[in-house]
Structure 1
């Protein structure tokens, strides 16, 4: 009986599985599944662009381990896992895409040298308003929906929205999504039995769990992720507490100001009843002439 032992969304494991030259046939299968579904595969080869990123924290930010690949036609594809919400996610993804797309040109290159760039994001939470779990964004006309350029595409796979009843009947992308949804041990066995590629995926996972060095690096990455989440949660709590304290202080200040004004108004009313001149009342209370004249009209 197969037993799942790891978090498949751990980006160190994710990069081990889909960002390794030895297993690039799995990457090719995954990319074809995301971009073309069950159609005839369009991508026949990929090469990996190593960003030399280590699973450490720099300047308080957790370095993300994504996969950047170039297909045999020159298309650039960035694959990453997003396990928790952050402010301005859409803007961040667009910035990463822009870096990938703009980074193609060198001094003297023509724009014709640019190749399409695609971002693929697996998300472990609900993010988009659509009910569907796989959504693709392009640059297109608001009315006609005519695509301006095929050089931009952004795929979001929201794992929490994914539902299935029979693993064996899933299409290619469905099987990959079920796998990354951390399906049960029994379902993982069904996946392996239903598709030779998925069997190879499961075998790669088993080899990973049996490799002591890999497991240690995986554990370190899990710890870094836990520490990062803990630090972020603590920062949010401190921010909320500070906000409450500042709110309470502001409330006290406003209350004191209101109390002082009420006291001034009470003094002014009593002085008016004694027939004291408005100018003397404003000098004594600090209220404006308009305020005192208004008080004179009160019953």
Structure 2
């Protein structure tokens, strides 16, 4: 999959290895900072592959933030800049977040007019699974990437087997999944992850319904009426305590971000 996404030779990944899959959390709500896969190539390039199933309003900002953490964590005080190696972030998301008619987009730092690449250390990819259903998007531009995205998004064993017949690399991945599915620890980890996703979606739905009820009771926007604003603050406090993300709290309460930061500092310090 990495060969297809990064357009590189397989030999570059011969010494690919999984390293620590968790970044230090800065705040309580940084649950989404957990990386699904963190890897290095034989020439020390770092790769962060993250699968995100819940829509996030500030996806670009969040991605850049965690890319920066991965990049700056490579050196310590007194080290020279030549120790910094290229960092690549690959986001596989189950929602649309880029307003372009492409299922795979990639980004670098380039000069505005000439397209000259300032440095090769920055590289971010988005693979948007939701766009696979869009008939207006050319999915044959890079068939290998499309097939990997379809494989990730498939639910039935029969569909997986059909796709595995078309792509030898996907066949290897499918065979490995068959082995893993029989391993109790792997199955328990998958079920725990699914439960956490369902719990988080339920918390967001409940908080959103509470916010709607506040608006109905007051008949005006949350941010204008003082009484409603007090209730919005209480909802924000509750969401902070249980670890909801900044974007979810802003979306539900409609409070300004600086107010949520103030509340977060109050409860987390």
Report the equivalent of 2:253. Answer: none
Report the equivalent of 1:66. Answer: 36
Runs ≥4 in structure 1, deviation > 6 angstroms? none
Report the equivalent of 2:243. Answer: none
Report the equivalent of 1:35. Answer: 6
Q: Distance in 1 between matches of 2:109 and 2:72?
A: 16
Structure 2 alignment gaps of length 5 or more: 228-269
TM-score, length-scaled by structure 1: 0.64
Report the equivalent of 2:254. Answer: none
SS in 2 for 1:87: coil
Match for 2:126 among 153, 156, 170?
156
Q: After superposition, where does 1:87-236 map in structure 2 within 5 Å? A: 87-162=57-132, 171-182=143-154, 184-236=156-208
1:181-223 superposed Cα distances (whole Å, 9 cap, x missing partner): 2165443223322333222211122222222332223222211
Q: Distance in 2 between matches of 1:70 and 1:245?
A: 54
Q: Distance in 1 between matches of 2:31 and 2:10?
A: 38
Match for 1:77 among 47, 50, 55?
47
Q: Distance in 1 between matches of 2:176 and 2:54?
A: 26
SS in 2 for 1:162: helix
Q: Distance in 2 between matches of 1:149 and 1:78?
A: 19
TM-score, length-scaled by structure 2: 0.71
Change (3 A) 1:40 1:248: closer
Change (3 A) 1:92 1:126: same
Alpha carbons 2:55, 2:94 under 8 Å: kept: no
SS in 2 for 1:80: strand
Alpha carbons 2:22, 2:35 under 8 Å: kept: no
Q: Which moved more, 1:189-198 or 1:94-103?
A: 189-198
Cα deviation, residue 61, structure 1: 5.6
Q: Distance in 2 between matches of 1:240 and 1:105?
A: 47
Cα deviation, residue 52, structure 1: 5.3
Cα deviation, residue 234, structure 1: 1.2
SS in 1 for 2:165: helix
When the two chains are superposed, the root-mean-square deviation of aligned CA atoms in Å is 3.2
Change (3 A) 1:188 1:44: same
> How many positions carry a matched residue from both structures?
218
Cα deviation, residue 247, structure 1: 4.4
